[in-house]
Each structure stands twice: as C-alpha cells, then as structure tokens.
Amino acid sequence: MFVSDVAGPGFVPPSTNDFNLPPVFGNSAYTTKPILLVLLSIVLISIFFIAASRKAAIVPGKLQFVGESVYSFVRKDLAEEIIGHGFLQFVPFLFTLFTFVLVNNIFGIIPFLQFPAMSHVSFPYVLAGFSYFIFHSIGIKKQGLGKYLKGIAFLPGVPKFAYILLTPIEIATYFLIRPVTLSLRLFANMFAGHLLLLVFIGGGDYMLHDSHLLLKILSPFSFGFGIAMTFFEFMVQCLQAYIITLLSALFIAGALVDEH
C-alpha cells in the first residue's frame, strides 16, 4: 500500500533475473557464483569428512563424532531403514547426495556466500540424473531388462482392464515423474526461498533509503522478517537435502524389490 502510494515505480521487485549472476572473474560461463560455490562445497565436504574419519577411533573425538553422526544418519535412518538388506553398497552415493545438497543449500544463508546453488536448476537436474540412472540400472541388473520393464508397466495382481489406465500412469511415474519430483522439488524450494529473502531484505533496504519517513520507520519490520525467514530457510534447506536423499533411497529400494 505504502509502496504503491508513495514510492510508485521506484521499487523494482526481485525477479528471476536476480539469479543470473555475472561471472565472478573473467568472462566465462565457468566462473559464475553457483559454479564456484559448488566447487567450494566439494572441497569443504571432502576436507571435513576426511579429517573426521581419518582416525576411525573406537572412542571418537569431537570431530569424528560430528562426522559420524551425519554419516550414521544417512546410513541408518535412510539407507538401512528404507533399503534394508544389501543397503551398504548404496550408502556412499546417498551420503554424497545428502552432504552435497545440504552444504550447497546452507550456503544460501552463509554470510558473503549467500546463494543456494540448487536454485540453479542445472544442479538438481544433474543429481536427479544420477539418482535416475542408479535406480534404473539397479532394477535392470537385479531383475533383467524385460522383467523390470514388465514389472513397471504391468503391475501384478491387477485386473486386466485396469492396465488401460495403470500402464501409462506407471510408465510416466517411473520414467518422467520421478526425476522431475527429485529435481524440481529441490530447485523450486531453493529458488523460492532465495527469492523470499531477496524480497524482504531488498524491500527493507529500499524502504530505509526512501525519502518518506514512514517507510524508513517501517523498514526494520521488513529486515526482521527477512531474518526470521532466514531461520525458516535453514530448516527448509536441511529438509530438502533430507527429502532428495530419502526419495532416492525409496526409488532404489523399489528397484531392488521384485514385486512392485
């Protein structure tokens, strides 16, 4: 209301263009902020976990304890619970997926970094692609290509006429919807979350610099809401890292089971 009354066209709301950042240095598509952040994330994750697991002590120190907690969370609560028998071979993939997404998401609220790489849809596509490739190849390896595809297309124990309806749905689920749910959920959450922070913090900044006194006075509310949303974002970031790992584990588990 105040904005439309007083400021008029002065305030430019954040848009998708705010996600297209110019290269940090040089003039290459490979030196943009999200790419550098992804590279930073794998370096940090590697260093942290190598340092934490190096000793492999029976009685862990603080560092090992923290690293182990993350690892055993993925190992026990995700892999073992969902996949069950033979889960151990998938733990490295799920562990990588979880830590990679988690750290890159949290970069979104770390001062100075402040950008979630997963809000660029390319990265979720890549992750979904890996997951997609893995669970399909497991299914084919476990059951053979024909049996696997038949199991997907024709659900056993369903009356024949139902296949008219079910077969297209099942095929679409396995080959189209699953990768989309994996990638777009993560992307959209990070994208929207970052946009939300831009709105409140950018809006607060605009209000503070506006000549109108009332807007100046009200600007702390916008900033305050921005800070509150930052905490909320932290929760969403952790949750999304958990969800993409959970879904991948579920798909793997589904491919391992003979009957769908």
Partner 1 sequence: MHSRFVAEAAQSPLLPKPAELIVGAIAFGLLFLVLRKFVTPMFEKAFAARTEAIQGGIEKAERAQLEAAKALESYTAQLADARGEASKIREEARVQGAAIIEDLRAQAQEEAARITAAAHSSIEAEREKAITSLRAEVGTLAVALASKIVGEALQDQVRQSRIVDRFLEDLEKSK
* Positions that interact with partner 1 (CB under 8 A): 16-17, 19-20, 28-30, 32, 34-35, 38-39, 41-42, 45-46, 49-50, 52-54, 56-58, 60, 64, 67-68, 71-72, 75, 88, 91-93, 95-96, 99-100, 120-123, 125-127, 129-130, 184, 187, 191
Shortest CA distance to 30 belongs to which of 38, 201, 65, 100? 38
Based on DSSP, count helices (H) and strands (E) in the chain, helices before strands.
9, 0
Taking the complex as a whole, the smallest distance from the CB of residue 94 to partner 1 amounts, in Å, to: 10
Residue whose CB is less far from partner 1, 207 or 236: 236
Q: Residue 125 Cβ, how far from partner 1 at the closest point, in Å?
A: 5
Minimum Å gap between C-beta 157 and partner 1 is 37
With both helix axes pointing from N to C terminus, report the angle between 178-209 and 122-143 in degrees, rounded to the nearest 10.
160
Looking at beta carbons only, is 30 or 161 nearer to partner 1?
Answer: 30
Pair of tokens at residue 243: 């969800």
- In 3D, which of 187, 199, 188 has the Cα closest to residue 14? 199
Nearer to partner 1, 152 or 178 (CB): 178
The nearest distance, CB 60 to partner 1, in angstroms, is 7
Indicate the residue among 60 and 212 with the shorter CB distance to partner 1.
60
Q: Which residue has the tokens 């009685």?
A: 59
Joined tokens for residue 105: 């998401």
Radius of gyration of the chain from Cα atoms? 23
What minimum distance in Å lies between the beta carbon of 180 and partner 1? 10
Q: Which of 73, 102, 178, 172 is nearest to 134 (CA)?
A: 178
